[in-house]
Structure 1
Amino acid sequence: MSFSSLPPLLGEALAARGYANPTPVQAAVLQAEAQGRDLIVSAQTGSGKTVAFGLAMAGELLDGPGRMPPSASPLALIIAPTRELALQVSLELRWLYEKAGAWIATCVGGMDASRERRNLAGGAHIVVGTPGRLRDHLERGALDLSQLKVAVLDEADEMLDMGFREDLEEILDATPDGRRTLLFSATMPRPIVALAKRYQRDALRISTVGEDRGHGDISYQAVTVSPAEIEHAVVNLLRFHEAETAMLFCATRDNVRHLHAILVERGFAAVAISGEHSQNERNHALQALRDRRARVCVATDVAARGIDLPSLSLVIHVELPRDAEVLQHRSGRTGRAGRKGTAILIVPYPRRRRVESVLRGARINAEWIDPPSAEDIVKRDNERLLETLMQPIEVSEDDRIIAERLMAQRSPQEIAAALVRAHRGSLPEPEELLARGQPTPPRADGKPAHHREGFDETVWFRMNIGRRHNADPRWLLPLICRRGHITKNEVGAIRITANETFFQIPLPIADRFADALVRTGGKDGEDENGVRIEPSPDGNRPPPTARGDSGAQIRRGPPRAQIKPTGPRKPGRKGPPRR
């Protein structure tokens, strides 16, 4: 199927943008059975659905010559869940309907509301906005929907998830009964079904989402790391891939701010997008990515929808998404409209099982890999440099003169070495990551060792306090983390005996942990409270248990440590002994 059946002006706009044939969702809405009907459409992110509903409503908007007729009030209304998506939709419809003479107004939170009201009063043909701002203009009398012919709900499931049900109902109740309603939703939960039943008539159901819910043009990878090395893994992944544009997703705005500062400090051209940034700041960040002034964007899920960057080929989930839908919407920023992309999940090893469950729910087959090492990155850098230098180039006369001067003063080897050094000097340094240990062999009695994921090989450390000193895991664990500069997820089993406490540290970080103990301890290895932490005399075996004292052993693991008390506890203060 082609675009030949469209009005000539729309066909010219599509051709100018390089559209030769419609995508599956665009072809579906152009079928004869879909003409003039209400539609319920399910299509994956990046499938061209914005152009699809732009084409679907052309029959209601254009007159005989294929142009927009004069109108004092909007003819089409598109509602989107976020500012970014609304602005993206507005840009798409603007080039699609520019030759037809359409006037498009955008109404989103964070922008100048008075200017939006002036644009609405000027007679906009198409209005694109977010539910809250549209409802505000409607209640103030600035938005007149009496002549509306088409209403489009984009990402309807997300709008209901965000609590916009009342806003949507008030807006749709203000529209004429004879309008078309096009509902685009990735999923069809009960609230969406109820919304469709109330506001649509004999709607045609269209779905271009296959059984494999994952994006076919996105390759998924999962990288397991120590929780303390997530930031180092991010640096190495960015350096290994050297993507033209990469997007990194964090869970909170504070984490976005922190990671953005780390990347800038290491020499990456990075921008940040989160809820604390104004719309103007977000627009500047996106423009910096589009014109190549920045190559990395650190963002919260506010950027998981509505952002289309043609050069974006790498998405890194620095912090794990809350469910499969968020995973897909984040990842869907790449691999759009037939382009290839890579989505990488950074998985702290205690959370591998949860991630495997999320991937199964999303029907995504991810390749589990180790993070790239510094050696891997240097090797990849060398390959990229050789590939770049071997490409044919056009040499200007000025370039030739400089080359001859260099050849007269230096040997070819020296010039090549200087070129390599200059290239490497412009790149951020990779990070040294700790190697993962090998699986622990069976014990001497033939039984398998029982360890959490990531604790296949461990080293035992001891503390000079025990039950007789009121040792309690509630303050022991923070003390261990503070002294050794690690996180609670990097502490294994804790065994409390009468006078001592023993605990496990994964072998890959044991040396770093021991070095931190030296720095945080006094001259005799004790802190200000008299607590001394040191490697157990026989660090690779569990500590011996004194006769008559079975000890208290704590098996730590998500979500909460399991404690087995095995002896009487003396009453007294909870906390480390003082001298």
Structure 2
Amino acid sequence: MTFPHASPPLARALSERNYNDLTPIQSAVLAPEARSRDILASAQTGSGKTVAFGLAMAPELLGDAQSLPQAGAPLALVIAPTRELALQVRRELEWLYSYAGARIIACVGGMNPHLERRQLAEGGHIVVGTPGRLRDHIERGGLNAASLKVVALDEADEMLDMGFREDLEFILDAAPVERRTLLFSATMPKAIAALAKRYQRDPLRVEVERSDRGHADIEYRAVRVGPKEIELAVVNLLRFFETPTAIVFCNTRESVRHLHATLIERGFSAALLSGELSQHERNQSMQALRDGRARVCVATDVAARGIDLPQLGLVIHAELPTDAETLQHRSGRTGRAGRKGVSALLTPPSRRRRLEMLLREAGVRAIWSGPPTADEIRKLDQERLFKDPLLAETPTEQELELGRLLLADATPERLAAALIRLYYSRLPAVEEVADPGEEPLRSREPSAGRPAAATRFPQGSVWFRLDIGRKRNADPKWLLPMLCRKGSIRKQDVGAIRIFDHETQFEVAQDAAELFSANIRRPGGEPVKIERLAEHGKPDHAKRIRPQRDKHRAPTGSKD
């Protein structure tokens, strides 16, 4: 395959990587009208943006030459929001520029800054880094920005969301005015437009259409599951699809730790990613996933930001994402570069309406079903056994000799049975999981402002206030299960629920109120505020309950 508008050494690298066709964003940056112009591009995750800006910057770095000059002050700078994404970008550019002789240096938080300064002093062609670390090197004189011909911003919208505006402006102001600025972003909010207006000159606007706002190569599955069988359903989904790499998303660090321990206990090779890990621990987890020692990654949204796992064919949402954007960000880890992927959302009956709203907002369609059954998985195991590559490989002479010795001592049937036992011993056991079906919850919603009916609790009750009301789509169908889940109480312990425009008041049985108050303080879960009401119906601030939340990463570019 030839790429007429690509620099020859880069075209050679593309061909060796079996690039038969460029993605739309890659073709757009190679078009004649894009040459030497600033580019303002938007394209969804997994559309090949890294290779796109690698191709786009080649004319400034190489011109008509076949290789880059001797490394000195960097010629190109790539800025990414997270260390994982920056390291991923470096790996992509290394193979893309391999025949051009590029020296690429990564400068990211969490790594040894003294080693990075030595590498910068030795010279490089392209520097890839996170905003905070790059600014630090410029301020300390380690990174000379005077020779930069191209600056590329990857995931610019995410960097602004994370609070890196000041760092980005400092870096761009430090670069030469006569440079190319390539700005790549998944979305184009006003803040991105303002950044482009200030730092770009007549940019070429490139916008790649999204396919139904989702990924065309992702199959969405809504999996009905009982609230106490979520972990069992995760096990069966992993066994059913048997992808080389899978990622399971949870909403809190506590959930990640618990599910990771469960999968390890069941025999899965699993790694975890959460904000509490040190950089060394994160690196170990990522390396285990990349070299195949771990097949499953259990992660929070924040910890998984920017990672790209090899051959990721399955995303499991053990807990539903908080919004449609998070749904697409999670799902976008799979179905990349033309490969197919599955995004499975585990949905207890009480959360069905919430998931339906998420799918509508995301503009994607899902196939509804129960979890894979044990019988379905056993049938697949049998088919996989017959297709195992070990059965098709040509045996060595030593293996044939051992085989003849075994046949002299045992029948073929016994040897085949032993082979089958050995095959199944390496597989985690499947679980018996039922499809809960369509279990509707009756609505408890009274008219706003209507006095509550007499309490149905003979021993009395306690009233609480929740900071979600009709304006935020409060509905007993999902409020009641959420309260039971957070407070570890039964549905029977919740009495009247009164929904107003901006708040909801609900009644908890007296004998369950203290348990509810204690459990609601546990970290994680839904980001809601619950207050105990005094007898006169106003919040009792002395007994206010504020559930703890995960601490998101401070905008330094180096920590989760």
TM-score (norm 2): 0.78
Q: Secondary structure at the match of 1:321?
A: coil
Whole-Å separation in 1 of the counterparts to 2:35 and 2:427: 54
Q: Secondary structure at the match of 2:248?
A: strand
Amino acid at match of 1:339: R
Q: Secondary structure at the match of 2:124?
A: coil
Check whether the contact 1:493–1:553 (CA below 8 A) recurs between aligned residues.
Answer: no
In structure 2, runs of 5+ residues without a counterpart are 445-454, 465-476, 484-489, 510-560
Check whether the contact 2:463–2:508 (CA below 8 A) recurs between aligned residues.
Answer: no
2:461 equivalent in structure 1? 472
In structure 1, runs of 5+ residues without a counterpart are 440-450, 456-465, 476-487, 495-500, 506-551, 566-579
Matched, 1:214 2:203: no
1:576 equivalent in structure 2? none
Matched, 1:403 2:403: yes
Check whether the contact 2:223–2:370 (CA below 8 A) recurs between aligned residues.
Answer: yes
Check whether the contact 2:314–2:343 (CA below 8 A) recurs between aligned residues.
Answer: yes
The 10-residue stretch of structure 1 (29-38 or 386-395) with the greater mean CA deviation from structure 2: 386-395
Alignment of 1:238-249 (within 5 A): 238-249=238-249
Q: Secondary structure at the match of 1:128?
A: strand
Whole-Å separation in 2 of the counterparts to 1:337 and 1:429: 33
What RMSD in Å do the two structures reach over aligned CA positions? Answer: 3.2
Whole-Å separation in 2 of the counterparts to 1:141 and 1:388: 57
Q: Percent identity at matched positions?
A: 58
Whole-Å separation in 2 of the counterparts to 1:492 and 1:277: 31
Give the Å deviation of 1:289.
2.1
Amino acid at match of 1:470: Q
- For the structure 1 residues 213 and 554, does the alpha-carbon distance in structure 2 shift closer, same or farther, using more than 3 Å as the test? closer
Whole-Å separation in 2 of the counterparts to 1:214 and 1:195: 27
Whole-Å separation in 1 of the counterparts to 2:206 and 2:163: 25
1:326 equivalent in structure 2? 326
1:273 equivalent in structure 2? 273
| Structure 1 residues 331-357: Cα deviation after superposition (integer angstroms, max 9, x where no partner) | 222211111111111123222222222
Q: Secondary structure at the match of 2:45?
A: coil
- For the structure 1 residues 119 and 412, does the alpha-carbon distance in structure 2 shift closer, same or farther, using more than 3 Å as the test? same
2:253 equivalent in structure 1? 253
Alignment of 1:28-39 (within 5 A): 28-39=28-39
Matched, 1:422 2:425: no
Larger Rg: 1
TM-score (norm 1): 0.75
Whole-Å separation in 1 of the counterparts to 2:177 and 2:89: 25
Q: Secondary structure at the match of 1:187?
A: coil
2:153 equivalent in structure 1? 153
2:183 equivalent in structure 1? 183
Whole-Å separation in 2 of the counterparts to 1:553 and 1:117: 61
Whole-Å separation in 2 of the counterparts to 1:376 and 1:89: 40
Check whether the contact 1:227–1:489 (CA below 8 A) recurs between aligned residues.
Answer: no
Whole-Å separation in 2 of the counterparts to 1:502 and 1:305: 36
Whole-Å separation in 2 of the counterparts to 1:454 and 1:247: 35
**Alignment size in residue pairs:** 477
1:308 equivalent in structure 2? 308
Q: Secondary structure at the match of 2:268?
A: coil
1:380 equivalent in structure 2? 380
Check whether the contact 2:349–2:436 (CA below 8 A) recurs between aligned residues.
Answer: no
Whole-Å separation in 2 of the counterparts to 1:391 and 1:453: 55
Amino acid at match of 1:52: A
- For the structure 1 residues 148 and 418, does the alpha-carbon distance in structure 2 shift closer, same or farther, using more than 3 Å as the test? same
| Structure 1 residues 348-396: Cα deviation after superposition (integer angstroms, max 9, x where no partner) | 3222222222212221111111111222222222222233389633122
Q: Secondary structure at the match of 2:77?
A: strand
Check whether the contact 2:81–2:154 (CA below 8 A) recurs between aligned residues.
Answer: yes
Q: Secondary structure at the match of 2:229?
A: helix
Give the Å deviation of 1:94.
1.6
Matched, 1:133 2:122: no
2:513 equivalent in structure 1? none
Check whether the contact 1:350–1:453 (CA below 8 A) recurs between aligned residues.
Answer: no
1:287 equivalent in structure 2? 287
Give the Å deviation of 1:211.
4.4
| Structure with more contact order per residue of length (Cα contacts < 8 Å, sep ≥ 6) | 2
2:4 equivalent in structure 1? 4
| Structure 1 residues 466-503: Cα deviation after superposition (integer angstroms, max 9, x where no partner) | 9785342679xxxxxxxxxxxx9898899xxxxxx993
2:471 equivalent in structure 1? none
- For the structure 1 residues 437 and 219, does the alpha-carbon distance in structure 2 shift closer, same or farther, using more than 3 Å as the test? closer
Q: Secondary structure at the match of 2:228?
A: helix
- For the structure 1 residues 553 and 246, does the alpha-carbon distance in structure 2 shift closer, same or farther, using more than 3 Å as the test? closer
Give the Å deviation of 1:425.
1.9
| Structure 1 residues 197-230: Cα deviation after superposition (integer angstroms, max 9, x where no partner) | 1111111111223342211111111112222221
1:356 equivalent in structure 2? 356
Alignment of 1:47-126 (within 5 A): 47-70=47-70, 72-126=72-126
Give the Å deviation of 1:408.
3.6
Give the Å deviation of 1:117.
1.6
Give the Å deviation of 1:13.
2.1
